[in-house]
Structure 1
Amino acid sequence: MVDEPAAVLAAGAIPWRRKDHRLEVLLIHRDRYDDWSWPKGKLDAGESLPECAVREVREEIGLVTTLGRPLPAIRYQVKSGAKVVYYWAAKVEQQRIIPDGKEVDAVKWVSVDTARHLLSNGSDIVPLDALEQAFKAGDLDTLPFVVVRHAKAKPRSTWTKEEGERPLAATGQRQAIAVAELLSAWRPHKVVSSPWVRCVQTVAPYLKRQDMGVKLAGSLTEHAATRKPAKTAKQVIKQLDKQRCVALCTHRPVLPITFDVLASRCAPGIAAFLPHKNPYLEPGALLVAQQSRTTRKIVSLEIVSPFTD
């Protein structure tokens, strides 16, 4: 039986923390429904699922979060049809939790067993089980490594100047704004980019928003990947080994080398989810690899589609 298309799409996160070597999760209480659940909400028009998850967590409990590894989505029926909710893990350090007083009137840190007992919707246990499994495996605490393919550039066939100077097309400029929104869901602390104009322009809106600089790496250009692929791979390895939240912006011909490096760092079964066929990623798309802080293995991969018009 094929699932019916979702009439309602929503996204949220499971806030978690480690306390006395034990996993705790944050439940929210909604007075309107008198239920206990996870922070979540419906997508706004033109919003992606990761953006929605971050926004809903911020609006409902005042938490500015960075998305961790994705968790299983849940599906259930509402009046308008099937509703699908996508979840991510969201580690909480010392941030203060403040219920908005409108949708959420109370929050509670509880153990996993208590959460299973309190959750009003039985399907909400599905992402909780995955969260607990990752915690027990030592793979819940992760760092995102984000690979960005530059946004849509002006056609190569009509460009008469140096290839490295070819800029974004009008669509690409709009995609770059969408890339900034998406990157904010993972908030990379460092951005490494090919020095070619179209790559720098792709990450420029995010850099401006975060008041950050960019690290230019000549080894991430198309020419470098063709002439010295080992040097390109070395740059990717270098950034992975820094154990920081990094975004790397590059070109389509560089992606196979980048993904080969990622494959070598993947936990069992994860590398199969890497793109293996040209064009690997669409212009402006992101691949987010979550790297375990404990094992340093990549434990999840997700691709976020770009804005198109």
Structure 2
Amino acid sequence: MSELWRLLLLVTLSASAVTFVGSAAIWFMDEERRIRRALRHVLKGAPETVIVAKGRGRGAGFNFTTNQAAVAWDSGAWCLIYRIDELMGAELSVDGQVIGRVFRGEQRRAIDQIVQQAAQVTLKLIFDDPRHPDFELDVWLEGDQQRRESRSPADAIQEANRWLLRADAIVRRPLAPKARPAPPPSPSAEPAIQTRPPVAEPEVARAPKPYTPALETVSAAPQARPAATAPLFDEIDTTADPLDAPWEADDDLDDDPPSIPEKPYKPVSKAARPPKDDQDELPFDLDD
């Protein structure tokens, strides 16, 4: 019996966990929440105003702090970002007939009729973008009354009208002055055109020169012209007698080598003489 209660408790806890996980997944994957998360991501902040076409996966949001607008479709998988001043106008149509219009430079066309029943209510935002000039939101379709959180066509028209007033407040604001383009640089300040460096040609192997003997090379070389040199003497006397010397006789005395003076005689003392044992001969003659 205790095992049966344990099994029932385990099944109950498992069912509660599965229900909680499923509810969290449904809440997280809700279409409106996904669109809001995508807009908050691309606008770098929570958008101050958002409109969502439920069941169509489309929405739009404005962030006046960052001065940006964004539109999303495919439940937030794709988004486009615009500047607020790129909004040119908006249109509200019911069953294909335009009942309200706001455009830059034109007077606002207010809604002059109240519609209680409609098959389609569409809000169109017009931007100054040649690639994506407009974005349509079907805020009400004929099959929306079968949804749990469905609204009436009058509620959808009222919400779309608020967006018309918001668009009118945006387009009536003066645009920021555009920055003037910089003046073109003077011709003297133009950068010099860089020339392409010459392409280096590959070196071609040259054939070796034929061998020439050294004697033929020397004989074939042009003779160098003798360089002019200054004369060693200003003038050469050709009338002088070759036997006569060009110098005088008195000059011979100057050329004699100097005389060597004789050393004076110095007597040798006996104390300086070497001992007798070392003398080979006597310093005097015995016969004397």
Q: Which has the higher strand share?
A: 1
* TM-score for the superposition, normalised by structure 1: 0.18
Higher relative contact order (CA 8 A, sep 6+): 1
Higher Rg of the two aligned structures: 2
Q: Which has the higher helix share?
A: 1
